[in-house]
Structure 1
Amino acid sequence: MLQILVWGGSFFLMAVMAGPIIKDTGWASQWVYGALSLSILVSALLAPLTSRLIARHGGRGVLASSGLAVAAGLGLMAASTTLAMFLLAWVVIGLGMALGLYEALFASLGALYGERAGSAITGITLISGFASTLAWPLVALLIEHIGWRATCQVYAVLLALTVAPLYLWALPRGRGSLAKQQTAVAAVVAIDRRIYGLLTTIFALGAVIMTAISVQLVSLLQGLGYSLAAAIGFGALLGPSQVGSRVLQVFARKRHPVWTALISVTLVAMGLLLVALAPGATALGLVLYGAGNGLRAIVRGLLPLALMSPADYVLLMGRMSRPSLIGQALTPLAGGFLLQALGAGGVLATLCSLALLNVLLVGWLIRLVSHASQRPS
């Protein structure tokens, strides 16, 4: 529930709040929407520092402070009378995202429970799949009745009263299982550089594809000839598909996460290819894409945990997430340029190419992991 609150007050907020802000202030839409990109960039820059803090001190205080940081950003946003003040508010929200979203949470769970963190990661990502489903109607309802500024204030109070106290109550003090592993000495990280590079690239490509679809799906489907109502209806298939695949993953915990990664990227590639090449199968394509993307969040947490020690996992989660976050921040701009230059077909062809490349990279990763497991210890 705490993850839903933090995601809803940061990453997912602008989907329903940008329109009222633009209408009320007259600020250019590219600046208002660009504020989210700014916050993601801030999160990317701070992610490695967050991992080091969690490795040294544990994740309890870091996660607790995330709600306070996002609340402070929302308070500043509510009081914004200039565009510069509005952008500063999103810098503060970006700080909260670095302290409290998946990368920080996964690192904290790894620090506390080591190799046993997998079940907790799976359960939390399953519940967090409802973040937009729950946050968007709540925020939209508040905006309709009290306006966007008061909505920011109410949400800020909700975060301040719940996130920090509940994290401090639920999580134990200290570094948990990492206390015995001298994680403060982080100069040497015992992981194959090729595996690390592949993990980072696979996650970054997945993040770029996810962001492009999240931002441009309706426009892409309209470019293929669908009406606005039909495009929105097709988009509604993504949420249930994502949650459904995560439910199925709960029953497949004994499977090595590298195979879940292969299933995830294959479903994403198949789904996008159907949307691009078989318009009559658009609904099926989006269901497959949604299922693959739903597994992606679980893979981000479980696969590195299976391939490195818990100590390295905590230290590297922030560093590994930086290219993904930078890619997410730049994707709306690059996607808009491609849509204008190449049209919907060109954007979909680009996304299909990236998805197929990701399938090949996961295949290479499986070979490396297989060879590594066969070497004598």
Structure 2
Amino acid sequence: MLQILVWGGSFFLLAVMAAPIVRDTGWALQWVYGALSLSLLVSALLAPLTSRLIARFGGRPVLASSGAVVAVGLLLMAAAPSLGWFLLAWGVIGVGMALGLYEALFASLGALYGEKAAGAITGITLISGFASTLTWPLVALLIEHLGWRMTCVAYAVVLLLSVAPLYWRALPAGVGIKIASKAQQAAEDRVDPQVYWLLTTIFAIGAVLMTAVAVHLVSILQGQGHSLVAAIGFAAVLGPCQVGSRIVQIFARKRHPLWTTLISVVLVASGLLLVTLVPAATLLGLVLYGFGNGLRAIVRGLLPLVLMSPSNYVLLMGKMSLPSLVGQAATPLVGGWLLQSAGPGAVLGVMAGLAGVNVLLVGLLMRRLPSRAD
């Protein structure tokens, strides 16, 4: 539930709040959406520091502080008299995202429980799959009755009253698995550089595709000739499919995460290829994509957990997420430019191509680690 609250007050917020902000302020829509890109960039730059803080102080104080920081950003946003102030508010929200979203949570659980964190990561990603489903209607209802500024205030109050106290209660004190000294770390099994870069690239491509779909899918489908109602209806299947795939994963815990990774990227590539080449099969394509993308969030936490030592996992999670977050920050701008200049077919073609590259990269990873997939 805490992840749902933080995701809903940051990453997913502008999906329902951007239009009311533009109507009220007259600011350009691209600048309002650009605020999310700014926050993702700030989150990317701070991700390695967050991992080091978790390694030193443990996850509880870091995660607990995330709600307060996002709340400060929302309060600044509510008071924003100008676009510059609004962008500053989203910079602060980006700090909170670095402290409280998946990368920080996965690193915290890995520090506390090592490989035993796998069950918790799967369960949390399952519940968090409802973030947009639960927060979008709530935020839209609050905007209708309170306006967007007071909605920011109300959401900030909820974060202040819930996130820190509940994280402090739910997570144990301490760092958990101790991070070794430099001399001890030199004696540990080091992460294979090729494995590290394959993982980082696979995760970055997956994050870019997820962001492109989240931001541009409705516009792409309309560009293919679907009505707005039909496009929204097609997009609505993604949430249930993502949650469904995570439920299935709960019953497949004995399967090595390498195989889950392969299934995820094949489903994503197949789905995007169908949407690109066979518009009549758009619904089936999005169902396949939704199942694959639902597994992606689990894989991002579990696969490094079984391929790295606990200390490496904690320290490298933030560093590994940096390219993903930078890619996510650039995706709305690059995708919007490509959509406007080359059309929806070109955007879908690029996305399907990237998804195909990810299948090849996972194949290379499995060849690099053949014994691990048994």
TM-score, normalised to structure 2's length? Answer: 0.97
Paired with 1:183 and 1:352, the residues of 2 have a C-alpha distance of 44
Tell me, in whole angstroms, the C-alpha distance in 2 between the residues paired with 1:21 and 1:275: 32
CA contact (8 A) 1:7 1:131 kept: yes
Matched, 1:45 2:39: no
Q: What corresponds to 1:60 in structure 2?
A: 60
Residues 186 and 26 (structure 1), Cα distance of their counterparts in 2 relative to 1, 3 Å cut: farther
Asked if the contact 2:366–2:373 (Cα under 8 Å) also holds between the matched residues in 1, the reply is no
- Quote the RMSD (CA, aligned, Å): 1.4
Letter in 2 for 1:11: F
Alpha-carbon offset, residue 341 of structure 1: 2.1
Matched residues, percent identical? 72
CA displacement 1:48-88 (0-9 Å, x = unmatched): 00000101111000000000000010011111111111111
2:255 is paired with a residue whose SS is coil
Give distance in 1, aligned partners of 2:298 and 2:373: 22
- Mapped contact 1:35–1:90 kept (Cα < 8 A): yes
In the alignment, which residue of structure 2 is the partner of 1:220? 220
List per-residue Cα deviations over 1:132-179 (Å, max 9, x = no partner).
Answer: 000000000000001011000000000000000000111111111x12
Match of 2:23 in 1: 23
1:173-212 alignment, distance < 5 Å: 173-176=173-176, 178-179=177-178, 181-182=179-180, 188=186, 190-212=190-212
Structure 1 equivalent of residue 82 of structure 2? 82
CA-to-partner distance for each residue in 1:5-28, whole Å, 9 max, x for gaps? 000000000000111111111111
| Distance in 2 separating the partners of 1:195 and 1:74 | 39
- AA at the equivalent of 2:259: W
Q: 1:225 to 1:321 in 2, by over 3 A?
A: same
Aligned position for 1:135: 135
Amino acid at match of 1:27: W
State the distance in 2 between where 1:278 and 1:76 align: 46
2:296 aligned residue: 296
Q: For 2:79 and 2:236, how far apart are their aligned partners in 1?
A: 34
Any unmatched runs of 5+ in structure 1? none
**Using the alignment, how far apart are the partners of 2:306 and 2:96 within structure 1?**
28
Q: Is the 8 A contact 2:208 2:324 kept in 1?
A: yes
The secondary structure found in structure 1 opposite 2:369 is helix
User: After superposition, where does 1:222-301 map in structure 2 within 5 Å?
Assistant: 222-301=222-301
Residues 91-102 of structure 1: matches in 2 within 5 Å? Answer: 91-102=91-102
Determine if contact 2:258/2:373 at 8 Å carries over to the other structure: no
Query: Are 1:172 and 2:180 an aligned pair?
Result: no
Q: Aligned partners of 1:62 and 1:183: how far apart in 2?
A: 22
Report if aligned partners of 1:118, 1:302 keep a CA contact under 8 Å in 2: yes
In 1, are the aligned partners of 2:259 and 2:373 still within 8 Å (CA)?
A: no
Q: 1:262 to 1:19 in 2, by over 3 A?
A: same
Work out whether residues 67 and 159 of structure 2, in 8 Å CA contact, stay in contact via their aligned partners in 1.
yes
- Matched residue SS, 2:80: coil
- Structure 1: how far apart are the matches of 2:56 and 2:117? 18
CA distance in 2, matches of 1:212, 1:184: 40
What amino acid is aligned across from residue 182 of structure 1 in structure 2?
A
Which SS does the other structure have where 1:217 is aligned?
helix
Are the structure 2 counterparts of residues 164 and 367 from structure 1 closer, same or farther at C-alpha, using a change threshold of 3 Å?
Answer: same
How many Å apart are 1:249 and its aligned residue? Answer: 0.3
Residues 256, 373 of structure 2: 8 Å contact kept: no
Give the CA deviation at 1:185: 7.0
CA contact (8 A) 1:183 1:311 kept: no
CA drift of 1:271 comes to 0.3
1:171-197 Cα distance to aligned partner (Å, 9 max, x none): 111111x12x42677975710000000
Residue correspondences, number: 372
What is the one-letter code of the residue matched to 1:365? L
Q: Report the Cα offset of residue 117 of structure 1.
A: 0.3
Residue of structure 1 equivalent to 2:338? 338
> Residue 110 of structure 1 contacts residue 117 of structure 1 at CA under 8 Å; is this kept in 2?
yes
- Structure-2 residue corresponding to 1:147: 147
Give structure 2 stretches of 5+ with no counterpart: none
Report the AA paired with residue 34 of structure 1.
G
Separation in 2, partners of 1:83, 1:185: 50
In the aligned structure 2, how far is the partner of 1:50 from the partner of 1:74? 21
Structure 1 pair 243–186 and aligned structure 2 pair: CA distance change class (3 A): farther
